[in-house]
């Protein structure tokens, strides 16, 4: 177990609507929010890109020039910060995501490691959205891994269900990937793993020895006991406006910095210190 906890801020996400929530959209807004999170203890910024322009901020973008501009603004605001770039795309056309990693060479990039039926049912027993498949077949995963290797980006393996942890192990066993391993356990998607702290020891047992892992917990008050258990078990920590808008007491936040302050307090409560950017690079084996 690392006595230092690496904290990631999930800055803005893809589904969060800036007309409803305080999510940053422009490079200037992203840099300002990143600085608040950085000052509170986050050394990694997980970023999504949004279309720029009036009433377009709720729509995703894969504009390489925008990615470069946003990353530069964040790096200037947060010396030594680690950028973790999103790559998640539904469907067979993911050239834009590959280009962003290839051209901007972030220190880290998400690598969605398996497919999931992405479902949610409302209280009236109807679908919250049309049932969809978040498709991540092996050939798609390999395309991402190959580009990340060329770019020098550490893959963060997003695991939406228990078996996907084993998929990551198989990618390593077959030689598809041979670098440092970072599992990201995504918990709280209604059709994926629940936000149940009792799952963590099982998942930890499944992982390759010596690997790093963290939890992405999606929800409200129910996510915070999961974060606490993650800190106690030696996992790294992530939160931000992509994952939640609420503090443990139900208060709605207006900034990523407020969530990161709470997460840093959780790390210390578990007897761990918050890793600096330089320490995070050593722990994650980022050059």
The band of 1, judged by pLDDT with boundaries at 50, 70 and 90, is low
pLDDT number for residue 265: 98
List the beta strands (DSSP E) in the chain. 4-5, 7-10, 44-47, 82-85, 108-112, 116-118, 132-134, 154-159, 182-187, 212-217, 236-239, 273-274
Residue 186, pLDDT > 60, answer yes
Mean pLDDT of 169-174: 98
Please write the tens of the pLDDT for every residue from 229-273.
999 999 999 999 999 999 999 999 999 999 999 999 999 999 999
Q: Which helix (H) or strand (E) holds 204?
A: helix 199-206
Residue 82, pLDDT > 80, answer yes
List the beta strands (DSSP E) in 65-131. 82-85, 108-112, 116-118
Residue 21, pLDDT > 90, answer no
Gap between the terminal Cα atoms of the chain: 21
17-20 — which CB contacts under 8 Å span 24+ positions? 17/57, 17/58, 18/50, 18/57, 18/58, 19/55, 19/57, 19/58
Residue 100: how many CA atoms within 13 Å on its side-chain side?
28
pLDDT number for residue 17: 84
| Domain architecture of the chain: domains with CATH | 4-284 (3.20.20.70)
Q: Which is it for the CA torsion 155, 156, 161, 163, positive or negative?
A: positive
Mean pLDDT score of the chain: 96
Please write the tens of the pLDDT for every residue from 134-167.
999 999 999 999 999 999 999 999 999 999 999 9
Q: Which of 137, 79, 89, 131 is nearest to 110 (CA)?
A: 89
Residue 16, pLDDT > 90, answer no
Helix (H, G, I), strand (E, B) or coil at 45: strand
Cα-based angle 172, 116, 89 (whole degrees, multiple of 5): 80
The band of 19, judged by pLDDT with boundaries at 50, 70 and 90, is confident
- Report residue 170: phi and psi, to 5°: -70, -35
Residue 125, pLDDT > 80, answer yes
| Rg for the chain, CA atoms, rounded | 17
Mean pLDDT of 6-19: 92
pLDDT number for residue 280: 98
Please write the tens of the pLDDT for every residue from 83-103.
999 999 999 999 999 999 999
pTM higher than 0.85, yes or no? Answer: yes
Residue 110, pLDDT > 60, answer yes
pLDDT number for residue 2: 64
Residue 287, pLDDT > 90, answer no
The band of 15, judged by pLDDT with boundaries at 50, 70 and 90, is confident
Residue 242: how many CA atoms within 13 Å on its side-chain side?
24
Please write the tens of the pLDDT for every residue from 37-79.
999 999 999 999 999 989 899 999 999 999 999 999 999 999 9
């Amino acid at each position: 177990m690392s006595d230092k906890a690496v904290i990631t801020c999930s800055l803005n996400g893809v589904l969060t609507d800036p007309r409803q929530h305080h999510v940053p959209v422009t490079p200037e807004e992203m840099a300002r929010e990143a600085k608040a999170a950085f000052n509170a203890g986050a050394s990694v910024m997980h970023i999504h890109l949004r279309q720029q322009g009036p009433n377009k901020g709720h729509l995703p973008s894969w504009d390489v020039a925008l990615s470069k501009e946003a990353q530069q603004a964040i790096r200037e605001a947060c010396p030594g910060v680690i950028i973790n770039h999103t790559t998640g795309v539904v469907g067979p056309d993911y050239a834009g995501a590959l280009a962003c990693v290839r051209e901007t060479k972030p220190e880290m990039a998400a690598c969605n490691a398996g497919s999931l039926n992405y479902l949610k049912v409302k209280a009236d027993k109807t679908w919250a959205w049309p049932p969809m498949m978040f498709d991540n077949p092996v050939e798609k995963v390999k395309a991402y891994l190959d580009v990340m290797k060329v770019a020098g980006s550490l893959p963060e393996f997003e695991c939406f269900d228990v078996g996907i942890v084993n998929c990551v192990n198989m990618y390593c066993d077959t030689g598809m990937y041979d670098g440092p391993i970072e599992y990201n356990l995504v918990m709280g998607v209604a059709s994926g793993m629940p936000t149940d702290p009792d799952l963590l020891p099982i998942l930890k047992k499944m992982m390759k020895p010596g690997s790093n892992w963290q939890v992405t917990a999606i929800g409200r008050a129910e996510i915070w006991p999961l974060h606490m258990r993650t800190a106690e078990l030696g996992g790294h920590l992530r939160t931000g406006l992509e994952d939640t808008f609420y503090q443990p007491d139900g208060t709605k936040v207006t900034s990523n910095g407020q969530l990161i302050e709470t997460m840093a307090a959780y790390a210390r409560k578990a007897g761990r210190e918050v890793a600096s950017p330089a320490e995070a690079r050593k722990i994650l084996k980022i050059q």
